[in-house]
Amino acid sequence: MFIGHNAVGFASKRPAPRASLGVLMAAPMLPDLLWPIFLLLGIEHVRIEPGATRWTPLDFYDYPWSHSLLMVVVQALLFSGGYWLFARYARGAVIAALGVVSHWVCDFLMHRPDLPLWPYGPRVGLGMWNYPVATIAIEGVAFIAGVMLYRRITRPRDRIGSIAFWALVVLLAAIFIGLASGKPPENVQQIATMGLAGWLIPFWAAWFDRHRVPAA
């Protein structure tokens, strides 16, 4: 899943209005933010295999530390615990933890059975990526709902709060449309580099969120 994770980030602002959208966006993206780092370090591996699923040509055959259920729960505890120590906002910490775990749940819907329950344990996945129309519908509807919810509960206090917000929405939608083409990347290095670019999204979200205020 791609923009479905961002949808969770946007929607998380409602139950945790005092939390920065940057934190709330980073939480459901966290396994995917760690994954390219693990790829570059040789801790995890991926193969480019056209036809692996009808949606993506990537074969996620080895990512036990970033994407197994057990390790995602560990990530959730560490991330939310760190946030609580920094912000002392208990509700925000709980929502952040749930956001991290939501990543695995969303991926479980989309991935073929390649998600480990624990490192090198049994693998599961419902394989929705083999149904591109359903994939687009699920992620698209979730993304629109998350964006509209965030827009309804906040309002811009200046032009940055409006323009930067919509610019990120358009960028994420454009990337998702590009992914729908299913064009294989050239190599694993390119995959990791593109994955590292995802780190910009939480910082971008934190930036414009500071320029928005709760709606009346």
User: Are the C-beta atoms of 114 and 58 separated by less than 8 Å?
Assistant: no
Assign 1 a pLDDT band (cuts: 50, 70, 90).
confident
Asked if the model's pLDDT at residue 182 lies above 70, the reply is no
Q: Do β-strands 58-62 and 115-116 pair in parallel, antiparallel, or remain unpaired?
A: unpaired
Rounded CA-CA distance 30/33 in Å is 5
Q: What is the DSSP letter of 214?
A: E
Asked if the model's pLDDT at residue 118 lies above 90, the reply is yes
User: Are the C-beta atoms of 63 and 121 separated by less than 8 Å?
Assistant: no
Assign 186 a pLDDT band (cuts: 50, 70, 90).
confident
Dump strand ranges (E) for 83-151.
115-116, 123-124
Per-residue pLDDT of 83-110, as tens digits, reads 999 999 999 999 999 999 999 999 999 9
User: Are the C-beta atoms of 60 and 136 separated by less than 8 Å?
Assistant: no
Per-residue pLDDT of 58-74, as tens digits, reads 999 999 999 999 999 99
Rounded CA-CA distance 189/205 in Å is 26
pLDDT of residue 216: 75
User: Are the C-beta atoms of 146 and 11 separated by less than 8 Å?
Assistant: yes
Helices 21-41, 69-87: inter-axial angle, 10-degree rounding:
130
62 backbone dihedrals φ, ψ, rounded to 5°: -150, 85
Rounded CA-CA distance 3/147 in Å is 11
Using left for φ > 0, alpha for ψ between -120 and 50, and beta otherwise, residue 32 falls in alpha
| Contacts of 146 by beta carbon, 8 Å cutoff, 6+ apart | 6, 7, 8, 9, 10, 11
Among 120, 122, 1, smallest CA distance to 64 is for 120
The continuous run of DSSP H or E covering 2 comes out as none
The tokens for 176 are: 């998702």
